[in-house]
Chains A and B, each alone.
Chain A
């Protein structure tokens, strides 16, 4: 039984601009591929049913939950994780800077997912209303902030980016 899920496939995935060619088990989830195979720890796991959004990444321009995708299904895709945001060791992009200024994070566990959510939202809708922001955030859970400062951070980021 051990290794039964272990039919191995070679996949080529681009993550944050870097292309990786790796052999993965068929059953390996994309989130585990990112965290363990590639060693990128910014994408988090918060549930086992695709509800919390801590694992959110951008796949071919679309916000997805990487726990709901198999690594093999990411063959040929371009993935962006939280590590792609901001420039250099110190740089924060406008969304990250807004979260910092408006206390949009406390424990930080949900934060990478929210940052990527905000990024895709603002790319699509540069001037969202509060209702539109909350609607977009529906798939990401936060247990610390009560969402109030997350919404304010995204509003501020939108204004800064316009």
Chain B
């Protein structure tokens, strides 16, 4: 390491974590969910509410010539409508994170003047019932003038292509070059250069089972807007909605209890929330909206689609990969929303799992007439990490290296940590070689190679694949300044309150919006350890509530950070409360604080457990009997302890595009054995293994469940799920009838193993995890390529349905270009 590298300060691990943290404590959430007593947003109801239906553009690109709502409004039971023309007046365009020209984009909650993707909301109708709202929608006459469409994320930048946003002048939303080390030197001096023409990461979505929904009431009396909604980053939403409609964030209330999956797709719903608020104000009623599945697939958010061109990889004769150079085009769809943050977030993992030193990425964010993207599970790192794994496998195959040995040679080694990457990120800990060994063992690698040889000539081809990935967690939002130096964001944080209620009840509230990650359970575990009790003596409030005052700008549940930020906040608050309880207890017991211990809900003398006060005694004194305490003590305790966990970030450097961008780096290494049917190209998974490392695990069963889920999403995307648009920008698979969400027959049993490399930078040694890192995408590409006949085209796409595999099988005999060239010196 360079002498001048500064890492994060090592954080003293909280020694009190142990009795429950680390145990697979059963989940508190389960009972209500198993009994069908969860409170999801469509379960909620407000007196006088109306139901909303959005009339949507059938065209991918069209001028809105006229809108006539008169027939709809004349219907009994129809309360109000809202058109784009009204929205253009009622709303300021949303704040844009992109610098100009991309930042000149005018983005509203509904189409204003022009629709730019199929499914974009054009008119909102509010009626007595959802069915009536849909009936009324049929009476709304919208005249469109179709315009030319642009659908290819690379070709869209060509002149003569229809431009989506005239204010920008082109379909380039952002462009930048990331240049680390000296890739030109590396290419000139390497023993081999491997050139890959094109790799493509396809468009898909985690598609949570519960769609977006909201119950919104703009109260005419108080001027406050109440949002009951399953948005998973509500304060980010508030920061966009507020300026758009001129309402202070203090006049907005957000809450949710149970959310049926989020995976990043429920972050950019602030546009719909804005429309609902405006409609509520216009109608003077609460408005309820539940998105249908087709609306969710066509018009909520898609994962980023990225094309990589002209990849050049310098490799030494011993297999050391020096780095790579690439032109990346990220297709953001019709509006930016959370973009162009993706243009920098990939750089949390510039070299992937490897010790690559020389990297140049020429990155362009483009616009097309498709659904806007959102930070789908693994946001922006998935794409980059997949490309790197493809590079590694292709280099191995082309230069004749064993893919296992090549990885082991190039991996960041266990002794390298903390490891500084080419752009100044710090990988905290890890052990990829051990994980790879475990993954190979789980699939019986040697046995699989035998099966592969034995399958020759049977009409089935067996392939073995490996996928290495990272799950970088706890973002430094200062990285946004790398794409726009004027953005007022940096650092990160989460807030929690741990308090005693009036009768000594231990209560926790957090600024997170869990969608199945078990926050109520894990927060209780760490609180219990710190306060010396059992988790079922700790009550964690279910869900999110802004009124609890436990939030900062980035509060929510996304980006693999809860174990660090959420639990970090809970731990900090619990420690504060612990200190106060001991202070009061010591006073009441006439002892020194050092004589005191907490156990089982009691404050007691360590030396004599009989001398004890239950928490109710502490609370009752402070809350209802405070004259009994000395004034100085009474002034210094509230038993209501709020703590904001702040990761130790500074602002990254905009000029050099370097900095510490994420605090923790969990990792996953997967291995798979697949079988391809030569006649059909269908891929069957014979064996699948996932090995995970996420620092110290607070609840191992919950962690394993997250690994399963992320693996299933990856397998689904790799083999079954892909958004298909036709040449007119019509989404062809807009329902689950045609968008093949992976079923129990598609996802195999997953063999699982894990190791723990505690993070030195977090208060509990844990690392955020949950997004996963998309290892199945690499693993299955790797396995397919391994199964292909000699001379076949490289596997170039993340999605390999039977038709594509069929073509790849036959590409060997076709003897055409293979997508890769090697120059050896």
Q: Do chains A and B touch in the complex (CB under 8 A)?
A: yes
Inter-chain contact B75/A106, CB cutoff 8 Å? no
**Which of B35, B259, B736, B737 neighbours the largest number of chain A CB atoms within 10 Å of its CB?**
B35
Instruction: State A43–B517 Cα separation when bound (angstroms).
Output: 21
**A109-B260 contact in complex given A115-B34, A146-B750, C-beta closer than 8 Å:** yes
Contacts of A105 in B (CB 8 A): 30, 33-34, 516
Identity of the chain B residue whose Cβ is nearest the Cβ of A148 in the assembled complex: B708
Inter-chain contact B209/A146, CB cutoff 8 Å? no
Inter-chain contact A82/B747, CB cutoff 8 Å? no
Q: Count A-B pairs with CB separation below 8 Å.
A: 205
Q: Is B246 an interface residue (CB 8 A)?
A: no
Instruction: State A110–B78 Cα separation when bound (angstroms).
Output: 33
Identity of the chain B residue whose Cβ is nearest the Cβ of A95 in the assembled complex: B34
Q: Report which of B34, B131, B712 forms a contact with A96, defined as CB distance below 8 A.
A: B34
Q: Is B269 an interface residue (CB 8 A)?
A: no
Q: Report which of A43, A99, A143 forms a contact with B709, defined as CB distance below 8 A.
A: A143
Instruction: State A27–B129 Cα separation when bound (angstroms).
Output: 13
Inter-chain contact B712/A147, CB cutoff 8 Å? yes
Q: Is B10 an interface residue (CB 8 A)?
A: no
Q: Report which of B35, B78, B210, B745 forms a contact with A135, defined as CB distance below 8 A.
A: B745
**A106-B736 contact in complex given A44-B260, A138-B745, A147-B747, C-beta closer than 8 Å:** no
Contacts of A149 in B (CB 8 A): 705, 708
Instruction: State A1–B133 Cα separation when bound (angstroms).
Output: 11
Inter-chain contact B735/A137, CB cutoff 8 Å? no
Q: Is B711 an interface residue (CB 8 A)?
A: yes
Instruction: State A137–B747 Cα separation when bound (angstroms).
Output: 12
Q: Is A19 an interface residue (CB 8 A)?
A: no
Instruction: State A33–B705 Cα separation when bound (angstroms).
Output: 34
Inter-chain contact B294/A48, CB cutoff 8 Å? yes
Inter-chain contact B208/A107, CB cutoff 8 Å? yes
Inter-chain contact B78/A130, CB cutoff 8 Å? no
Interface residues on B, range: 35 or more
Contacts of B403 in A (CB 8 A): none
Inter-chain contact B735/A47, CB cutoff 8 Å? yes
Contacts of A4 in B (CB 8 A): 135
Contacts of A150 in B (CB 8 A): 744
A119 to chain B, nearest CB (A): 12
Q: Is B432 an interface residue (CB 8 A)?
A: no
**A146-B709 contact in complex given A1-B135, A5-B131, A106-B518, C-beta closer than 8 Å:** yes
Q: Which of B183-216 contact A (CB under 8 A)?
A: 206-211
**A51-B208 contact in complex given A44-B260, A149-B705, C-beta closer than 8 Å:** no
Contacts of B138 in A (CB 8 A): 1
A101 to chain B, nearest CB (A): 7
Q: Which of B689-726 contact A (CB under 8 A)?
A: 701-702, 704-706, 708-713
Q: Is B37 an interface residue (CB 8 A)?
A: yes
Inter-chain contact B744/A137, CB cutoff 8 Å? yes
Inter-chain contact B293/A146, CB cutoff 8 Å? no
Inter-chain contact B42/A45, CB cutoff 8 Å? yes
Inter-chain contact A109/B135, CB cutoff 8 Å? no
Inter-chain contact A147/B744, CB cutoff 8 Å? yes
**A148-B749 contact in complex given A109-B209, A137-B744, C-beta closer than 8 Å:** yes
Contacts of A85 in B (CB 8 A): 34-35
Q: Which of B740-764 contact A (CB under 8 A)?
A: 741, 743-745, 747, 749-750
Inter-chain contact A5/B745, CB cutoff 8 Å? no
Inter-chain contact A51/B258, CB cutoff 8 Å? no
Q: Report which of A43, A48, A140, A146 forms a contact with B36, defined as CB distance below 8 A.
A: A43
Q: Which of A106-162 contact B (CB under 8 A)?
A: 106-112, 115, 130, 133-135, 137-151
**Which A residues lie at the B interface, using CB under 8 A?**
1-5, 25, 27-28, 35, 40-52, 54, 81-83, 85-86, 90, 92, 96, 99-101, 103, 105-112, 115, 130, 133-135, 137-151
**Which B residues lie at the A interface, using CB under 8 A?**
24, 26-27, 29-40, 42-43, 75-78, 127, 131-132, 135-136, 138-139, 206-211, 258-261, 263, 290, 292-294, 515-518, 701-702, 704-706, 708-713, 735-737, 741, 743-745, 747, 749-750
User: Can you list 8 A-B pairs with a CB-CB distance of less than 8 A?
Assistant: A5-B131, A92-B35, A100-B30, A108-B258, A108-B516, A109-B38, A146-B713, A148-B750
Beyond the given pairs A41-B37, A137-B744, A146-B708, 15 more chain A to chain B contacts, judged by CB atoms under 8 angstroms and listed by A's residue number, are: A27-B131, A45-B42, A49-B737, A92-B31, A105-B30, A107-B516, A108-B38, A109-B208, A109-B210, A138-B743, A143-B206, A147-B708, A147-B712, A147-B744, A148-B749
